[in-house]
Structure 1
C-alpha cells in the first residue's frame, strides 16, 4: 500500500452556508489543500516549484454525507496508481470521524519550459509507491 497523508483542515466562516453546512466547492478546496500537503511531505517542494510539476487533468468527487460547521475536518490522500506520465490520487474528507466525501484525481507531470507532459521521474515514482 502506498503512503497516506492526513491533513487537518481549518474551516473558514465563508465555507459554511446559512444551514451550517460546508458547501461542496469548499470541500473541493479542502481536497486541494490535502494534495499540496501530500506533495510537500511525499515528493518535496520541487514538485510545486520546479520546472516539472503536477497538474490536475481530471477530478471526480462523490458527496456522501453533510459536513457541519462545528465538525473537525481531515483530508486523507493516497496515491493509488502511478502510470507513465500520470498518477491517480484518492482522497477522503472525514468530518467528526466519518467519511463525508471522496475524490479521485488524475494528475499529469507537466514540463513547464516545454509546455508538454513528461514521464514521472524515477525518484518521484519511488517516493509515491513507498510504504
Structure 2
C-alpha cells in the first residue's frame, strides 16, 4: 500500500457523516467528490495558501476509482498532490485510505481532478497565478520551468 501513497506529501482527515451514506450503509458514490473537495481545500489552504480573492477555480474533469467501500465509523484520510501544472490548468490526485484494526492504511479510493483557473467575467480560462504555481512546484518538488 505504501507504494501508492509514497509520492504524496499531504494527508488530511475526512469525517464520514450519516448523511454521506446510501441505503446499504456505504458512503454514496457521489460523496467521494465532496471528500476530494474537502481534501483539496485543506491542501490549498495549508500548503499553497491559495488567494481566493483573486483566483477562481472550476473543475474540468473528475475521475474516481472505487476499490473498497467506506462505512460510518471508518477512520479515513485523503492524500492529495498536484501531479501536473499547465498554463491555466493543473491535475490534483487523491488517495483515500481507511485505518484497519491493526493500524495500517488500506487504500479504498483513488481519483484525479483537473482544476482550471477561470475568469468568470470573460468566461475563459486564464493563466494560473505565478505565486500559486511556484508554491505547488516547490511543495511537490517539480523542477522550475524557466
In the superposition, the TM-score normalised over structure 1's length comes to 0.87
Question: May I ask how many residue pairs the two structures share in their alignment?
Answer: 129
| Alignment equivalent of 1:4, drawn from 3, 9, 13 | 9
**Contact in 2 for aligned 1:80/1:88 (Cα 8 Å):** yes
Counterparts of 2:54 and 2:130 in 1: how far apart (Å)? 16
**Alignment pair present for 1:116 and 2:124:** yes
Residue 5 of structure 1 deviates from its aligned partner by 2.0
- Structure with the higher strand share, 1 or 2: 1
Determine which of 79, 84, 90 is the counterpart of 2:93.
Answer: 90
1:44-123 to 2 correspondence within 5 Å? Answer: 44-46=49-51, 49-96=52-99, 97-123=105-131
Within 2, Cα distance between the matches of 1:91 and 1:32?
A: 10
Q: Structure 1 regions of 5+ residues with no counterpart?
A: none
Higher relative contact order (CA 8 A, sep 6+): 1
1:2 positional shift: 7.7
Runs of 4+ in structure 1 off by over 6 angstroms are: none
CA contact (8 A) 2:8 2:79 kept: no
Larger radius of gyration: 2
Relative distance call for 1:58 and 1:30 in structure 2 (3 A) is same
Q: Distance in 1 between matches of 2:118 and 2:70?
A: 34
In structure 2, distance between residues paired with 1:3 and 1:64: 19
1:36 aligns to what SS in structure 2? helix
Contact 1:4 1:79 in 2 (8 A): no
Distance in 2 (CA, whole Å) between partners of 1:22 and 1:128 is 30
Question: Could you list the runs of 5+ residues in structure 2 that have no partner in the other structure?
Answer: 1-5, 100-104, 140-146
